[in-house]
Amino acid sequence: MSDAQLEPARRSAGPYHHGALRAALIAGAREILRERGHDAFSLNELARRIGVSPAAAYRHFENREALLRAVSFEGYEELHAALTRPMAAGLDPGSRVIEIGVRYVAFSADNADLFLTMFRYRPIRPGETVTVDAFAPLMEAVGAAQATGQLPAGETRQIALVIWTSLHGLTVLYLNGALTALGLIESPYEAARTSLQIQFPGLKP
Amino acid sequence: MSDAQLEPARRSAGPYHHGALRAALIAGAREILRERGHDAFSLNELARRIGVSPAAAYRHFENREALLRAVSFEGYEELHAALTRPMAAGLDPGSRVIEIGVRYVAFSADNADLFLTMFRYRPIRPGETVTVDAFAPLMEAVGAAQATGQLPAGETRQIALVIWTSLHGLTVLYLNGALTALGLIESPYEAARTSLQIQFPGLKP
DNA sequence: ACCTGAACACCGTTCAAGT
DNA sequence: ACCTGAACACCGTTCAAGT
């Protein structure tokens, strides 16, 4: 691999990014999201960092929102990857459900501003399926846990929805400080585990 | 009551709001929130609507954020009022838990942008208790439902937390369109009801 | 095809000055 | 005490012009 392929955005060799500007914009946006928080993102600051004029971004994205939707798209791909990453061998389906829940919370805590961007600017384009894909691993594990009797019978989508919404609520309330302000939880990971076990006692192996 | 007390912000009689500017700013902010959405709020637009210079707001609020925190404060008071409003007579504790859940979802749907502002700009000042107060009605109902055996035994705060986070997750995912995009739910009210009953089957009277 | 430079209306915030 | 007017740096976006 040449240097140009490795770090195209870092090379201040010239005013042109050889078509890699799009990728550089997305990477830079994620950097700003991490450093400044998701409400403080600025397209002008992004252009300044990359060493390009603000107008240059408009060759690759319709507007600020479209750029953030592309960032969001990456987020869904990475969330899906995190949820499908191999687990400890021989885990029963119920434990797999819990593990997916903990991973969801962990992803949101480790990528707080990316996570919040993902739900503020959902990636309508270029494929709505990324959001469906991210939901699929939970669906699969819930179905398996129903088969072993660790989760109640009934529509798999319904049970998976309950689990997802409850994890999501826990996460966003934790991220904006509501839960710690009320002295309700310490660790979001422990809270996810105990919440799931209170809702579905059968999840314990 | 004089006209000045009834509609101080509407009267273009003079440049002064007789100390009622603070209230007019908050009311106007809520109007903009409803019309433009919670990310599009602008302090300059607010000043223009009320017929005052942008700098005037800084007599009453430290900055834009402080103004939105005051709006948020009102939101928590109204949420608390909605959750404590009298219920149908003779409701068993389990049904009261469900009713509170439905009211939470209804409040968030009817005041979507106010609701989102409440969690984006939490009212640290002038009294953190409003957020605790809003949690209290659920705590009370959960405790009563535990006594009748409609909810499992254990720490009341834990059970209440599970119910709150799960309702909150359902609501925010519904508000940003994630659930309808995935074709997961129709009505958030029905979804709240069935979610609670899936998690805690004893809630049925 | 890809990017710059200059311009537009708008934003949040500050501060001296008016009443 | 309460508000105005003018100014500041900054923002998202457009568009003609450069290479």
Q: B53 to chain A nearest CA, in Å?
A: 25
Residue in B closest to A134 by C-alpha: B182
Structure tokens at A18: 């050889």
Please give the single-letter amino acid code of residue A70.
Answer: A
- Model confidence at A105, pLDDT cuts 50, 70, 90, reads very high
The stretch A159-163 carries a mean pLDDT of 98
Tell me the average pLDDT across B72-80.
Answer: 97
Using alpha carbons only, how large is chain B's radius of gyration in Å?
Answer: 20
* Nearest residue to B129 via CA among A174, A177, A182, A173: A182
Q: Smallest Cβ distance to B166: which of A166, A172, A178?
A: A166
How many beta carbons lie within 10 A of that of residue A137, not counting itself? 21
pLDDT of residue A127: 60
- Residue B9: name the closest of B58, B112, B23, B136 by CA: B23
Question: What's the CA gap between B159 and A86, in Å, rounded?
Answer: 32
Q: CA dist B121 to A35, B69, B71, B74, B133, Å?
A: 19, 5, 9, 12, 17
Cis bond before residue A137 (omega within 30° of 0)? no
Taking the C-alpha atoms of residue B132 and residue A183, their distance in angstroms, rounded to an integer, is: 10
CA distance A151 to B45: 52
* B14-31 per-position pLDDT tens digit: 555 667 999 999 999 999
Question: pLDDT tens for residues B114-126?
Answer: 999 999 999 976 5
Q: Which residue has the higher pLDDT, A179 or A10?
A: A179
Q: How many whole angstroms separate alpha carbon B2 and alpha carbon A198?
A: 56
Is a pLDDT exceeding 70 seen at residue A157? Answer: yes
pTM: 0.92
Asked if the peptide bond before residue B86 counts as cis, ω within 30 degrees of 0, the response is no
Residue contact B172–A169, C-beta within 8 A: yes
Residue-wise burial string across A95-119, b where 16 or more C-beta atoms lie within 10 A, e elsewhere: bbbbbbbbbbbebbeebbbbbbbbb
Q: Nearest to residue A158, comparing CAs of B98, B168, B170?
A: B170
Instruction: Name chain A contacts of B154, Cβ cutoff 8 Å.
Output: 198
Candidates B132, B165, B176; nearest CB to A166: B165
Q: Is B137:B83 a contact under the CB 8 Å cutoff?
A: yes
Q: How many Å does it take to go from CA A51 to C1' D7?
A: 29
**Nearest-CB residue to B165 (from A152, A154, A195):** A195
* CA closest to B182 among chain A residues: A132
User: Quick check: helix, strand or coil at residue A147?
Assistant: helix
Question: Is the CB of residue A71 less than 8 Å from the CB of residue A33?
Answer: yes
Ranking A43-52, A151-160, B91-100, B128-137 by mean pLDDT, the lowest is B128-137
Residue A129 is inside which H or E element, if any?
A: helix A129-147
Give the closest nucleotide to B17 (alpha carbon vs C1'): D2
In angstroms, the CA B168 to CA B96 distance is 17
Mean pLDDT of chain A: 90
pLDDT at B186: 86
What pLDDT was estimated at residue A15?
55
Instruction: Report helix, strand or coil for A151.
Output: coil
| pLDDT at A6 exceeding the cut of 50 | no
Tell me the nearest-neighbour CA distance from B170 into chain A, angstroms.
5
Between the CA of residue A57 and those of A62, A113, A121, A171, A176, what are the distances in Å?
Answer: 8, 21, 18, 33, 31
C-alpha closest to that of A165 among A185, A183, A138:
A138
Question: Which long-range contacts (C-beta less than 8 Å, at least 24 apart) are formed by A104-107?
Answer: A104/A79, A104/A164, A104/A167, A104/A168, A104/A171, A104/A192, A105/A167, A105/A170, A105/A171, A105/A174, A105/A188, A105/A189, A105/A191, A105/A192, A106/A82, A106/A189, A107/A78, A107/A79, A107/A82, A107/A83
Pair of tokens at residue A110: 């480790």
CA separation for the pair A154, A145 (Å, rounded): 12
